[in-house]
């Protein structure tokens, strides 16, 4: 049997990091074993499911490069099949009609609580045949009354649940629609799932699903329940902690490689290694390396990984991602230096591509205003002469190279008998608009000579105007 895993999101929001990690583990496990990876959209909750969420999930999966070999399958397209299986369970005596109203079930639970018992459906209609006509009913699964269900969880180890703990769950509502546990079972069966890797918030459903699968004579997959992700305050990760949507990480300037590396380590380890390319993950990932305890999200580590990948991935590849951020920042990068050259000098200075786009604006656009603080400090009357001299030296250059630019700046400082900072800082503010940039020679060389001269002239005019005030 081909090893098969799935990712089965409910499209009621964006793809969040918890879902993405489950998807990654399922994807890795299938792919490394030459298996199938099914994408299944669990959209039976018609009120909460939206096409927008489906699109957001697909976009997130695509951005992360988690490709599926089958699907996407939509549960809403499979209602006929669910009905068929429900009928099959009824016919075989594994399910029954329950005519209790919700109020009656509530009352049953209240009475149990008063008696100090665990509130549950008491099986009132389990064996009854006196079915009323024209009364609405739900269909319940006849859970075995005795014995235990054993989950040999591939992450959590052996878990035993006594059948006396489980009541007869509803598999079809009074309007005939199937419930979550039924649709998952039918799909895992039909889609030949061998391994179900999912969040441990589903662990209570697992024994119920296993019992239904057994009643259907289906083979039972192996389960691996991944512990949840916590925020830095130890509470379950949520919007309160900042970004939780995968696409929000893209928007904030993270590379998919960094997020994937971060997510694989968030709940799995291999020795004390931190850096894993996709190839290494595929080689090394195993469920046995997954933690049993929840893991806490750590944005600093993600930033550290992002920096690592911005520096170490091929610049051409990083440039494709940076181009998107430049576009978001409203910058036209068709004219100006190659993005790969910008990356070469900026990658060490930032944690994200969004920041890189922000601090690289001066390569592609003339700035409207100078940074007020930097201008005040460095564009004072004393800077005028150094700017004029360096402008003339730069304007006279015939080859616009790092060496020639460096010589012009040094020459100016020597000629005026001032320190390098007295030339460099005014020049930096003049050309980049602010007081922070990589070394001037490598920065200026990426900007056209005429532009540099024009900006120096603007700065000189600025100094003169200020002096006249
Ligand atoms: N649709 C469920 C969810 O998004 C997952 C079900 C499963 O993995 O079995 O939580």
Compute the distance from residue 162 Cα to the ligand 1 centre, in Å: 23
Is 239 catalytic? The answer is: yes
Check whether residue 275 and residue 353 sit in a common domain: no
Instruction: Write the CATH number for 286.
Output: 1.10.1160.10
| Mutational test site, ligand 1, from 186, 200, 202, max ligand atoms within 8 Å of CB | 202
360 confidence band (pLDDT: 50, 70, 90): very high
Instruction: Write the CATH number for 340.
Output: 1.10.8
As for how many domains the chain has, the answer is 3
Nearest-angstrom CA–CA distance, 185 and 143: 14
Position 408 in a domain: yes
Compute the distance from residue 136 Cα to the ligand 1 centre, in Å: 29
Check whether residue 339 and residue 412 sit in a common domain: no
| Mutational test site, ligand 1, from 42, 78, 179, 193, max ligand atoms within 8 Å of CB | 42
pLDDT digit string, tens, across residues 131-177: 999 999 999 999 999 999 999 999 999 999 999 999 999 999 999 99
C-alpha count within 13 angstroms, C-beta hemisphere, residue 12: 9
Instruction: Write the CATH number for 409.
Output: 1.10.10.350
Question: Which pLDDT value is given to residue 234?
Answer: 85
Dihedral pair phi/psi, residue 347, rounded to 5°: -55, -35
Check whether residue 348 and residue 391 sit in a common domain: no
- Final residue of a structural domain among 338, 365, 392: 365
Structure tokens at 369: 């205003």
Check whether residue 379 and residue 395 sit in a common domain: yes
265 confidence band (pLDDT: 50, 70, 90): very high
Position 8 in a domain: no
Say if ligand 1 is within 6 A of residue 195 CB. no
Position 229 in a domain: no
The single-letter DSSP state of residue 94 is S
- Which whole number is the average pLDDT over 229-254? 88
Please report the atom of ligand 1 found closest to the CA of residue 9.
4
pLDDT at 419 over 90: yes
Nearest-angstrom CA–CA distance, 461 and 12: 57
Please report the atom of ligand 1 found closest to the CA of residue 198.
8
Position 99 in a domain: no
Catalytic residue, from 239, 351, 377, 422: name it. Answer: 239
- Which whole number is the average pLDDT over 104-118? 94
Say if ligand 1 is within 6 A of residue 10 CB. yes
Using DSSP bridges, classify how beta strands 195-199 and 222-226 pair: parallel, antiparallel or unpaired. parallel
Compute the distance from residue 9 Cα to the ligand 1 centre, in Å: 5
Tell me if the bond preceding 72 is cis, omega within 30° of 0: yes
- Which whole number is the average pLDDT over 385-404? 98
Edge-to-edge strand list for the sheet holding 95-98: 95-98, 138-141, 170-172
282 confidence band (pLDDT: 50, 70, 90): very high
Structure tokens at 75: 């549960």
Check whether residue 355 and residue 328 sit in a common domain: yes
- Which whole number is the average pLDDT over 117-130? 94
Structure tokens at 419: 């320190």
Percent of the chain having pLDDT more than 90?
95
Position 230 in a domain: no
Using DSSP bridges, classify how beta strands 157-162 and 229-230 pair: parallel, antiparallel or unpaired. unpaired
Nearest-angstrom CA–CA distance, 457 and 450: 11
Position 434 in a domain: yes
Compute the distance from residue 227 Cα to the ligand 1 centre, in Å: 14
| Mutational test site, ligand 1, from 199, 200, 204, max ligand atoms within 8 Å of CB | 199
Cα–Cα nearest to 209, from 189, 191, 234: 189
Cα–Cα nearest to 222, from 1, 2, 22, 5: 5
pLDDT digit string, tens, across residues 315-358: 999 999 999 999 999 999 999 999 999 999 999 999 999 999 99
Question: Which pLDDT value is given to residue 302?
Answer: 96
- Domain ranges, residue 458: 366-469
95 confidence band (pLDDT: 50, 70, 90): very high
Q: How far from 350 is each of 252, 304, 360, 436, 438, CA to CA, in Å?
A: 12, 10, 11, 12, 11
Residue bearing the CA closest to ligand 1, atom 6: 8
Check whether residue 418 and residue 469 sit in a common domain: yes
Position 459 in a domain: yes
Position 407 in a domain: yes
Q: 88 exposed, middle or buried (CB, 10 Å; 0-12, 13-18, 19+)?
A: middle
Check whether residue 301 and residue 258 sit in a common domain: yes
Question: Which pLDDT value is given to residue 237?
Answer: 87
Check whether residue 341 and residue 376 sit in a common domain: no
Check whether residue 335 and residue 421 sit in a common domain: no
Nearest-angstrom CA–CA distance, 222 and 241: 33
Own/partner pairs, 173-181, CB within 8 angstroms, 24+ separation: 173/138, 174/136, 174/137, 174/138, 176/83, 177/44, 177/79, 178/44, 178/79, 178/82, 178/83, 178/86, 180/42, 180/44, 180/205, 181/205, 181/208, 181/209, 181/212
Check whether residue 243 and residue 324 sit in a common domain: no
Check whether residue 292 and residue 255 sit in a common domain: yes
Contact present, 230 and 298 (Cβ < 8 Å): no
- Which whole number is the average pLDDT over 229-257? 89
Cα–Cα nearest to 181, from 223, 201, 209: 209
Check whether residue 261 and residue 348 sit in a common domain: no
Which residues, other chains included, contact 368 with Cβ-Cβ below 8 Å and sequence gap of 6+? none
Compute the distance from residue 382 Cα to the ligand 1 centre, in Å: 68
Say if ligand 1 is within 6 A of residue 88 CB. no
Beta bridge pairs of residue 364 = none
Beta bridge pairs of residue 230 = 236, 296
Contact present, 38 and 191 (Cβ < 8 Å): yes
pTM: 0.93
């Amino acid at each position: 049997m081909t090893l098969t895993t799935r990712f089965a999101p409910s499209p009621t929001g964006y793809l969040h990091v918890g879902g993405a990690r489950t998807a990654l583990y399922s994807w890795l496990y299938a792919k490394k074993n030459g298996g199938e990876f099914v994408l299944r959209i669990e959209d039976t909750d018609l009120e909460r499911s939206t096409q927008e969420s489906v699109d957001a999930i697909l976009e997130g999966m695509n951005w992360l490069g988690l490709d599926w070999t089958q699907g996407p399958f939509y549960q809403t397209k499979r209602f006929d099949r669910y009905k068929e299986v429900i009928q099959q369970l009824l016919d075989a005596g594994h399910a029954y009609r329950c005519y209790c109203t919700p109020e009656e079930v509530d009352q049953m639970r209240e009475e149990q609580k008063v008696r100090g018992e665990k509130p549950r459906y008491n099986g009132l209609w389990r064996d009854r045949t006196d079915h009323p006509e024209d009364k609405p009913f739900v269909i319940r699964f006849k859970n075995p009354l005795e014995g235990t269900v054993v989950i040999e969880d591939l992450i959590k180890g052996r878990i035993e649940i006594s059948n006396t703990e489980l009541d007869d769950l509803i598999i079809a509502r009074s309007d005939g629609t199937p419930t979550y546990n039924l649709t998952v079972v039918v799909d895992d069966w039909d889609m030949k799932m061998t391994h179900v890797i999912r969040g441990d918030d589903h662990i209570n459903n697992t024994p119920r699903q296993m019992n239904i699968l057994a009643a259907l004579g289906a083979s039972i997959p192996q389960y691996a329940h991944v512990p949840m992700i916590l925020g830095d305050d130890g509470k379950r990760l949520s919007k309160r902690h900042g970004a939780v949507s995968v696409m929000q990480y893209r928007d904030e300037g993270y590379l998919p490689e960094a997020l994937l590396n971060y997510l694989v380590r968030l709940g799995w380890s291999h020795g004390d290694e931190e850096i894993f390319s996709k190839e290494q993950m595929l080689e090394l990932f195993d469920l046995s390396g997954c933690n049993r305890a929840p893991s806490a999200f750590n944005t600093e580590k993600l930033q550290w990984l992002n920096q690592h990948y911005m520096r170490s991935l091929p610049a051409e590849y990083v440039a494709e991602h940076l181009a998107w951020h430049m576009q978001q920042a409203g910058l036209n990068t068709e004219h100006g230096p190659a993005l790969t050259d910008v990356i070469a000098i900026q990658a060490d200075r930032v944690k994200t591509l969004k920041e890189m786009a922000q601090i690289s604006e001066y390569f592609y656009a003339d700035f409207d205003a100078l940074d007020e603080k930097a201008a005040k400090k460095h564009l004072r009357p004393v800077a005028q002469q150094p700017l004029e001299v360096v402008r003339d030296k730069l304007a006279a250059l015939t080859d616009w190279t790092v060496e020639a630019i460096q010589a012009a700046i040094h020459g100016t400082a020597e000629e005026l008998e001032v320190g390098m900072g007295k030339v460099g800082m005014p020049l930096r503010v003049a050309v980049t608009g602010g007081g922070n940039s990589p070394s001037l020679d490598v920065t200026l060389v990426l900007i056209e000579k005429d532009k540099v001269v024009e900006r120096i002239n603007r700065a000189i005019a600025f100094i003169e105007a200020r002096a006249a005030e």
